[in-house]
Amino acid sequence: MNNELNIPKHIGIIVDGNGRWATERGLPRSMGHKVGAENLKKICLYLDELGVKYLSVYVFSTENFKRDNKEVDFLMDLFVKMFKTEFDEIIKRGIKVVFSGRRDRLRKEVLGAMDYLEEATSKNKGSCLNICLNYGGQSEIVDMTKKVCQMYKDGEITLDDIDVDFVSKNLYQDLPPVDFLIRTSGELRLSNFLLYQASYAELYFPKTYFPDFKEEDVLKAIEEFNKRERRFGGNK
Ligand code: IPE
Ligand code: IPE
Ligand code: MG
């Protein structure tokens, strides 16, 4: 059945609603993150099965450091545990994991777990999972600007080298544009996710909280994507 569907090449997911999912069940927010993380792993594997070549997931924004220390610490510990012990199937499946975001402010255990996962999957030839952690779209554009200015200063490039593709290649990861952007939990905003890459993405905002966002919801989302008419500024 899926053969009939046009599968987006690059999907972005803003994993949202973990806290509300837990609160509505009388549970601590941390439980929402735990169940959300387990679900995220399943969704990554499912999208790989469907043939999605690039998947970007937003798991921690630069702004999420504003949260209580307790919640931030829980999330960081959860990332370490997930990357070190829960990603075996992702590694075996041949998925290549990369990270987008700033490394500053992250504890060395977190950086170690990220490096481990990148290294363990660096030779994988399958789909690409881009984990956006301590990521902000504005910071990414700032960091790209500094990098490109340095290249110019060092005489490696001229002003004419700088165009849309060049900028894209000099972001945290050199990935194709986002075709389909999903944000769970019903919030209608981007919250600083892939601002450059999502210029022509189709947007989809299901009301479901992320821990309840299952394979059948993913399929429904892709069916919705198939109904969209993409124009890229053209007239048909
Ligand atoms: C998303 O869930 C996970 C992270 C931001 C790390 P939230 O924690 O934002 O959940 P809500 O939006 O408060 O329900
Ligand atoms: C965006 O969600 C960041 C992630 C999902 C990682 P938030 O829950 O932090 O966004 P706001 O605060 O509702 O905009
Ligand atoms: Mg939220």
All structural domains of the chain with their residue ranges = 10-136+176-225
Smallest-distance ligand from the CA of 19? 1
Q: Cα(48) to centroid of ligand 2, in Å?
A: 25
Token pair in block for residue 50: 């469907």
Q: Cα(68) to centroid of ligand 3, in Å?
A: 14
- Residue pair 210/29 in contact (Cβ under 8 Å)? The answer is no
Report the half-sphere exposure of 85 (CA within 13 A, side-chain side).
Answer: 4
> Atom 14 (ligand 2): residue with closest C-alpha?
191
CATH superfamily to which 10-136+176-225 belongs? Decaprenyl diphosphate synthase-like (3.40.1180.10)
Smallest-distance ligand from the CA of 58? 2
Q: Cα(129) to centroid of ligand 3, in Å?
A: 21
0.85 exceeded by pTM: yes
State how far Cα 82 lies from the chain centre: 15
Give the pLDDT of residue 83. Answer: 98
Task: Name all contacts of 218-221 with Cβ < 8 Å and 24+ positions apart.
Answer: 218/43, 218/46, 218/47, 218/50, 219/2, 221/180, 221/182
Q: Is residue 16 annotated as part of the catalytic site, yes or no?
A: yes
16 CB less than 6 Å from ligand 1? Answer: yes
19 CB less than 6 Å from ligand 1? Answer: yes
Give the pLDDT of residue 111. Answer: 98
Please tell me what DSSP assigns to residue 86. I
What residues contact 118, with CB distance under 8 A and at least 6 apart? 97, 98, 99
Q: Is residue 115 annotated as part of the catalytic site, yes or no?
A: no
Burial of 143 (0-12, 13-18, 19+ CB in 10 A): middle
Q: What is the pLDDT along the chain (236 residues), one digit of tens a residue?
A: 456 899 999 999 999 999 999 999 999 999 999 999 999 999 999 999 999 999 999 999 999 999 999 999 999 999 999 999 999 999 999 999 999 999 999 999 999 999 999 999 999 999 999 999 999 999 999 999 999 999 999 999 999 999 999 999 999 999 999 999 999 999 999 999 999 999 999 999 999 999 999 999 999 999 999 999 999 999 97
Q: Cα(223) to centroid of ligand 2, in Å?
A: 25
Please tell me which residue in 2, 3, 6, 16 is annotated as part of the active site: 16
β-strands 180-183, 10-14 pairing: parallel
Task: Ligand 2, residue 15: give the atom nearest the CA.
Answer: 5
**Angstrom distance (rounded) from CA 129 to CA 133:** 12
- Residue pair 124/92 in contact (Cβ under 8 Å)? The answer is no
Looking up tokens 């090449």 gives 9
93 CB less than 6 Å from ligand 1? Answer: no
**Type of residue numbered 200:** Y
Residue 224: name the closest of 206, 236, 211 by CA: 206
Give the pLDDT of residue 177. Answer: 98
Smallest-distance ligand from the CA of 210? 1
Please tell me what DSSP assigns to residue 181. E
Give the pLDDT of residue 236. Answer: 72
Report the half-sphere exposure of 156 (CA within 13 A, side-chain side).
Answer: 6
Mutate to test the pocket of ligand 1, among 63, 185, 191 (most ligand atoms within 8 A of CB): 185
